[in-house]
Structure 1
């Protein structure tokens, strides 16, 4: 039962990503694409800063000691959101978000198969490959 709750939360995260991408793509049309991404991260930083004051239990000062590759997430987040801000008005929300999911599935299978980035090694099964192939077919059909 506990796992089902995590799956539901992950599905809700996907829902919010589609909404967020669409909102910031529209904002990008109003104020500029890079400005829209900057606004997202500035507001997000303020909200997280406030949450950190009340709920933070980690050690932000460890950031300077952490391995540099672990700090690349911020850069990847900026790239991800900026691509969506630029791409959604061109290809639409459905194709953009479907492409994101396919990209996530392919890369997550590679990461798990190789055991990269601290992930446990999980061999790729033929069922996963078939599922991703079907997702790629769905991209073609959506386009």
Structure 2
């Protein structure tokens, strides 16, 4: 399945608008030294996930309209997202105090864009097939140039 040539740019605007939230989120998570000092890095990550889980529980209870019990019918590999999210949080907590928020996020974004482009190109995991072209490859290369420039001293 190929993606439509025309699409609503609203999704792009919303995704860009979410970017600053991640900067704030990463900065506050790593700079809450009083939580990390009192309970530990991994424990602080657990607390963060627990608060997020409670927030999602209330959203599901009051605004959800899906069928949460259908999760038992999906392929089990599709449930790995929670584990990968936990790994991401721990890595961010460990890396940001060493290199800063901007370099850490550029690294994360570069990795996500690279893997995302591969997933899109081949339509992996049942996704929409969006072939790579020269402009996308150039954009990915420029992203890695920015990763170098942001981390170069």
TM-score, normalisation: structure 1: 0.92
Q: 1:135 aligns with which of 129, 143, 153?
A: 143
Count of residue pairs brought into register by the alignment: 142
Deviation at 1:8, TM superposition (A): 2.0
In 2: Cα distance, 1:84 partner to 1:42 partner: 17
The answer to whether the 8 A contact 1:22-1:85 is kept is no
What's the CA shift string for 1:62-117, capped at 9, x where partnerless? 12221111111111111111111111001100100011111111011100111111
1:25 and 2:25 matched: no
SS, match of residue 65 in structure 2: coil
Deviates more, 1:22-31 or 1:79-88: 22-31
The CA deviation string for residues 34-67 of structure 1, in whole angstroms up to 9 with x for no partner, is 1121111100111111111111111111122211
Question: Which residue in 1 is equivalent to 2:120?
Answer: 112
What CA RMSD, in Å, does the superposition of the two structures yield over aligned residues?
1.5
In structure 1, runs of 5+ residues without a counterpart are none
* Aligned equivalent of 1:94: 102
Deviation at 1:24, TM superposition (A): 1.0
TM-score (norm 2): 0.86
Segments of 4+ in structure 1 off by > 4 A? none
**Match among 65, 70, 95 for residue 57 of structure 1:** 65
Task: Return the structure number with greater helix share.
Answer: 1
The answer to whether the 8 A contact 1:99-1:139 is kept is yes
